[in-house]
Chains A and B, each alone.
Chain A
Amino acid sequence: MSAVTASAPATELPTTAFLAKHLRENLWFYLVLIAGGVLMVAPFVWMVSTALKPAADQFTRDLIPRQITFENFGKAWELMEFQHLVWNSFRIAALSTIGQVVTCSMGAFVFAIVRFKGRDLLFLVLLATLMVPYQMTVIPQFIIFKTFGLYGTDVPLYLPSFLGGAFGVFLLRQYFRTIPLELLEAARLDGASLFRIYWSIYLPLAKPALAALAIFAFMSSWNDLFSALIYLPSDLEKTTLPVGLALFQRLYRAQWALMMAAVIISIAPIIVAFFFAQKQFIQGFAATGIK
């Protein structure tokens, strides 16, 4: 960590000599990071490469396909009737996201600004549930949903999201705490109800944190294999993308070009969203580290 690089103003264009010195001093850092980065993206590169190859070429080892085709995407879409899988995944993820954003923001608002007896203890208890493995809760929930005849429907996949959650409440409470209490006091003097304050002051001001939670909730639901596996019938019209892909693997064994196209179809929405909203994606994960 040299003081020279540390104090160089960011706006000034670096000279060649400066860059050369910087590279010399940090060469090993760059080499290790680049080598690691190649390992991180290699599977994705190979996925795209395979998906663009005609079926006859799928076993060639060329990184750049000799002949590029997009037919695998159309074929995979037809075989798997992806419109059902995508719609099911989207519907469930959207409902889960709404549930999380609404109920976590409600809870977080109370924990952030309302003083009541036992609040901090209750909050600690809520945080402690983050450490509970989900296997400890899934069996009774399964039995309850089955008893109410909801087994085989998508209700068990989004309904739990409407009961708040430690992660979302924690994330939003941190953010709500940064909003000056004077705003709240002024609104109270004007006779605004707590709900009004929550709805018209806190929610609009917390948009970045709400976006981070929404993205996190949507992604978790979109990628969730376990719940769909236990609650939904293994039927391409009724299930979600992750289970659909697992079925694809069994049905079209060794049709790798098709399979890679199917994988790309299923991860594309999240990848595109990630490139546009990188900050919000990472913020959600970073929040778990702040204590």
Chain B
Amino acid sequence: MSQIGVSPRGAERFWVIVLLLPTLLGLALGAFGSIAATIGISLFQWDLLSPAKWVGFDNYLALPENRNFLKALGNTALFSVIYVPATLSISLVVAVLLNQRIRGVSLFRLIYFIPVVTSPTAVGLVWTWIYSKDKGVLNAIITTFGGDPVHWLGSDMALYSVVIVNVWGAIGEGMIIFLGGLQAIPRDVYEAATIDGASRFQQFLAVTIPMLLPSIFFQAVLCTIHAFQAFDYVYILTQTGNGGSSLPMLVFNIYREGFNYFRMGNASAQSVVLAVIVLGLTLIYSRLNKRWGQQG
């Protein structure tokens, strides 16, 4: 990054500090202070009523025996393993199709983008209606064709049903990011490939994918973060009468521990584990990006 801009003189220094103050406060308190505090709190047992009690790493050591945590971790992992590749590949295909010289691009873009702007809580209710076991339209279609009704949101199927909704809601965002990347690929690369006799599919493999790799890795990082933070659709689609969930995931677990039961130390420890996993995956992606991205 080059140093564009002007050097402040005299009274201008005062304005620099004033203008930068909210951002600096946000960084100090909102980001670094809070991260440090979360790590700190994870070493205590604290219900916010009685004084916090130092327990060292006990909160972490108890996690492998905490069945709710293990279940949530397993659900989150499986959710991510399906969600990330599905979202990436579908939004990539949509973006590539929209990047062809076809008509109605802005209409298609509008349609695919609607679920990104609408509230997941609200749209999640529409999906509970579609998935409803007895009267839902999905089971109605299945039984019309002679199948048996499926308990879509029961504990056996909930994960898959919820992943579908999350992917559906995220395609538009990936599509926009990939369209940006595709439009940055110079047209003459394709023209050269056409002259060499490459088919459209060969062009996709030999030109589009390699040139788009940075966008793909970037989007993979974002999707992974989204997957590990998935909450709204999960909450609405799987909430049970007693405040539990038929598909407990990590964030839901943190929410219950921290804000329903006020077990702050435990909830913090789980947050730290979540952040470490996300950080680890991000590092792996950036390694892969460095290795493959530069060959292309």
Q: Identify the A interface with B (CB < 8 A).
A: 1, 3, 5-6, 22, 26, 29-30, 32-33, 36-37, 39-41, 43-44, 46-47, 50, 59, 61, 103-104, 106-107, 109-110, 112-116, 119-120, 123, 125-126, 129, 131-143, 146, 160, 162-165, 169, 177, 181, 184-185, 188, 193-195, 198, 219, 222-223, 225-226, 229-230, 241-243, 245-246, 248-250, 254, 256, 259-260, 262-263, 266-267, 270-271, 274-275, 278, 281-282, 285-286, 288-291
A43 and B100: CB pair below 8 A?
Answer: no
Q: Which residues of B contact A146 (CB under 8 A)?
A: 48
List 14 A-B residue pairs with CB atoms under 8 Å apart, sorted by A's residue number. A1-B194, A29-B102, A50-B129, A110-B19, A115-B8, A133-B275, A139-B34, A139-B37, A181-B5, A225-B119, A254-B135, A256-B135, A282-B113, A285-B173
Q: Say whether chain A's binding surface is mostly helix, strand, loop, or mixed.
A: helix
Q: Which residues of B contact A185 (CB under 8 A)?
A: 6
A285 and B116: CB pair below 8 A?
Answer: yes
Q: Which residues of B contact A41 (CB under 8 A)?
A: 111, 114
Interface size class of chain B, counting residues whose CB lies under 8 Å from the partner chain = 35 or more
B20 and A193: CB pair below 8 A?
Answer: no
A135 and B225: CB pair below 8 A?
Answer: no
Choose from B15, B103, B122 the contact partner of A242 (Cβ within 8 Å): B122
Q: How far is the CA of A165 from the CA of B174 in the complex (A)?
A: 22
Interface membership of chain B positions 134-153, coded 1 if the CB is closer than 8 angstroms to chain A and 0 otherwise: 01010010000000000000
Q: How far is the CA of A227 from the CA of B200 in the complex (A)?
A: 47
A163 and B16: CB pair below 8 A?
Answer: no
In the complex, which residue of chain A has the Cβ closest to the Cβ of B229? A133
B292 within 8 Å of A (CB atoms): no
B97 and A29: CB pair below 8 A?
Answer: yes
- Given A139-B267, A282-B113, A289-B181 in contact, is the A241-B119 Cβ separation under 8 Å? yes
Q: How far is the CA of A267 from the CA of B117 in the complex (A)?
A: 9
CB A274 to nearest CB in B, in angstroms, measures 5
- Given A120-B1, A139-B267, A177-B4 in contact, is the A289-B272 Cβ separation under 8 Å? no
CB B161 to nearest CB in A, in angstroms, measures 13
- Given A115-B5, A141-B34 in contact, is the A135-B229 Cβ separation under 8 Å? yes
In the complex, which residue of chain A has the Cβ closest to the Cβ of B254? A135
Q: How far is the CA of A229 from the CA of B275 in the complex (A)?
A: 22
Choose from B122, B171, B274 the contact partner of A263 (Cβ within 8 Å): B122
Interface residues of B in 77-98 (CB under 8 A from A): 93-94, 97-98
Q: How far is the CA of A47 from the CA of B33 in the complex (A)?
A: 44
Choose from B5, B29, B106, B112 the contact partner of A36 (Cβ within 8 Å): B112
Interface membership of chain B positions 206-237, coded 1 if the CB is closer than 8 angstroms to chain A and 0 otherwise: 00000000110011011001001101100110
In the complex, which residue of chain B has the Cβ closest to the Cβ of A265? B122
Interface residues of B in 27-70 (CB under 8 A from A): 27, 29-31, 33-35, 37-38, 41, 48
CB B25 to nearest CB in A, in angstroms, measures 5
B75 within 8 Å of A (CB atoms): no
Choose from A3, A40, A160, A249 the contact partner of B115 (Cβ within 8 Å): A40
- Given A1-B194, A286-B177 in contact, is the A163-B30 Cβ separation under 8 Å? yes
CB A159 to nearest CB in B, in angstroms, measures 10
Choose from B1, B94, B101, B103 the contact partner of A1 (Cβ within 8 Å): B101
B37 and A129: CB pair below 8 A?
Answer: no
B222 and A288: CB pair below 8 A?
Answer: yes
B155 within 8 Å of A (CB atoms): no
B176 and A115: CB pair below 8 A?
Answer: no
A140 and B125: CB pair below 8 A?
Answer: no
* Centre residue among A40, A123, A222 by max chain B CB count within 10 A: A40
B251 within 8 Å of A (CB atoms): yes
In the complex, which residue of chain A has the Cβ closest to the Cβ of B35? A136
B126 and A107: CB pair below 8 A?
Answer: no
A59 and B135: CB pair below 8 A?
Answer: yes
Choose from B33, B121, B228 the contact partner of A245 (Cβ within 8 Å): B121
